[in-house]
Structure 1
């Protein structure tokens, strides 16, 4: 009987050996935790489609932020749910807007916590779209205007930076948005504020629970004229290259689970950090399966996030961040 010269199982024989040769490592330093802040007092409202994720009012935000910090998580992605909306999304760039107030509170409570401000209009517009809408009554059509939207996005980014945001994360997918925001930040004196570009954001079915959380469902049509077709891969490289040339500091792929090939493509083609957004439906599907006893929640989540890292993600935005931070401490 002949034996193989190469025996790959030698390096799998026990946990110690497996730990020594592990190629990909997940760390709490890789994680960004999304938070949804809203107006009012005493509000801690669980989002029905996202068990364990809440709308929090400002008076309850301090306790949450201290908990996040105690777990070793160093960055929060901040989404605002305002009490008023209009067609221009004016509360997105108001000095006392909900994101601006929450940012100042977080920086006061935990000065070292990085605040990543979602820079978009959809939660703040009465239309639910990420930009200015032009209605053609004669034709019965509506168009999301690109360049007119950029001016409002710049105002939002500058307002967030003035409130203390450490990173601006524009999620709107308007053409030229990175260049416009970079110019606006620089002119306002925020030359050192990085831009985390939502470079490759697909018009995905995986966003459903988030729209419940952010109250941002479009009131008409969809976002397919500005978010990407899920069938396209080469276009992702064009989008990312455009953001690199316009001055982006980090490149995001959203969603992550169905687009790990895109994460890998960005990692291989660009030298900026790559961010994977483990989006709402990816979270909710695991939660639903775990609630039914169909999967081992902890094992599934850690395997999935390790997969993002292996694909090339340097940073992972995930609603599981607090759980993952606790699990990693136990390992």
Structure 2
């Protein structure tokens, strides 16, 4: 890695602070969601960090993410796959791998093929429309469980609503269904997403399931000042050029860009080949505690309008103001942070 390459700097102390704070706040164990490369923070580094500080339960979306964790060869660890997987042999070979059951059809298939219910978590969908057994199938699901006297590793739902009253309604429905089935059928009960961790009590839950909040990425409207952000996307100015000597910036003609009478442009080693989307053109970078506009993003480079205060080698931070970036890009922070790919090194400090 060159001195002027970009990196994601992850503050390990802040992640451990968040983990310990949430455990103490909720008085429950945590299922740490580390899908999408731990929301851009680096799945292997984050799992090892949390595992060494007492976390033994992790959730991912897909098998390929679970395989990355298995390769770490950590003892006493459980990995929950949130999406339906078709490779039953993968479950049979790895007894510490668990899977969410996302439909009644999936459950029937898994039972017919001899998959142990001790590796399965039932998921209930109260209108999210993404994953889970839908409400229309609840009666048939209840009948199947009682007739076959099934016990599962876990049961869960997802708090998807932004409206607090809707969150409470989902929690009530979830608790009522667990009571109908008898909660003793389930070793692990979990329901919260990161916003739900802040706003929902989680009655009957044995664990809290959270991802972005562990890294200090909070939802607007659901904010806890004790949670600390751990992510920084930083690098250094690679080169500075005088605009008067240029006809093009990247592939665009200089006059086609809104250069605001600036005289200098800085180049950094970050581009859409690294997952830094061209949609970020127009966002602000931070150099020497001052904001400078990003005007062009190419495959491997990005160009920033600067003034005479900026020098070659100065530190540059991207996405420092997350709320500003969210408002400009019109997408949540976990989308644009997760896009930063493996060409950018993750460094835990």
TM-score of the alignment, normalized to the shorter chain, above 0.5: no
Which one has the bigger helix percentage? 1
Which one has the bigger strand percentage? 2
TM-score (norm 1): 0.40
User: Relative CO higher for 1 or 2, CA cutoff 8 Å, sep ≥ 6?
Assistant: 2
Higher-Rg structure is 2
